[in-house]
């Protein structure tokens, strides 16, 4: 399956990048170009939703690591949601991204972000 990548502004400063298909030697540039366009908008948080990503190789991992470094340079965060078993296995085997947070779903991520905001003195989404 050819790789398709969408990006959505979830709220100010928060972007979701969702690759659909395989991230490999032939397709990693598609992901890299989409991520570069998102990084130009200087996100505070970039979420990779990998629900429909069925394969990733070292070139795909390279894009993720490069993204992590770019975000760290600006004190921004990178998280992953909806990792499918084959993708999670790659992460586990390579131990490529040990300092990144991975969430099972958007709901779990939202709960985490609400708790972070509440701890910082903000109003959780549920109280708005």
pTM: 0.76
pLDDT tens digit sequence for 15-49 = 999 999 999 989 999 999 999 999 999 999 999 99
Residue 119: φ, ψ to 5°: -65, -30
Domain of residue 71 covers 4-127
* Rounded alpha-carbon distances, angstroms, from residue 86 to 9, 44, 69, 90, 121: 27, 28, 24, 6, 38
DSSP code, position 54: E
Res 122: pLDDT: 52
Res 126: pLDDT: 46
- What CATH number is attached to the domain comprising 58? 3.30.750.24
pLDDT tens digit sequence for 92-125 = 766 655 555 667 776 776 676 566 556 655 544 4
Does the pLDDT of residue 85 top 70, yes or no? Answer: yes
Parallel/antiparallel/unpaired status of strands 101-103 and 77-81: parallel
State the total domains in the chain. 1
Say how far apart CA 61 and CA 68 lie, in whole Å: 10
């Amino acid at each position: 399956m050819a790789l398709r990548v969408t990006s959505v502004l979830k709220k100010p400063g928060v972007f979701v990048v969702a690759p659909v298909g395989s991230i490999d030697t032939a397709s990693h540039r598609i992901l890299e170009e989409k991520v570069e366009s998102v990084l130009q908008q200087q996100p505070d948080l970039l979420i990779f939703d990998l629900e429909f990503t069925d394969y990733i190789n070292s070139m795909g991992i390279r894009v993720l690591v490069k993204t992590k470094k770019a975000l760290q340079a600006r004190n921004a965060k990178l998280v992953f949601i909806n990792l499918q078993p084959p993708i999670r296995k790659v992460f586990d085997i390579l131990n490529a991204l040990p300092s990144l947070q991975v969430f099972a779903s958007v709901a779990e991520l939202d709960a985490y972000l609400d708790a972070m905001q509440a701890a910082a003195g903000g109003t959780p989404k549920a109280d708005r």
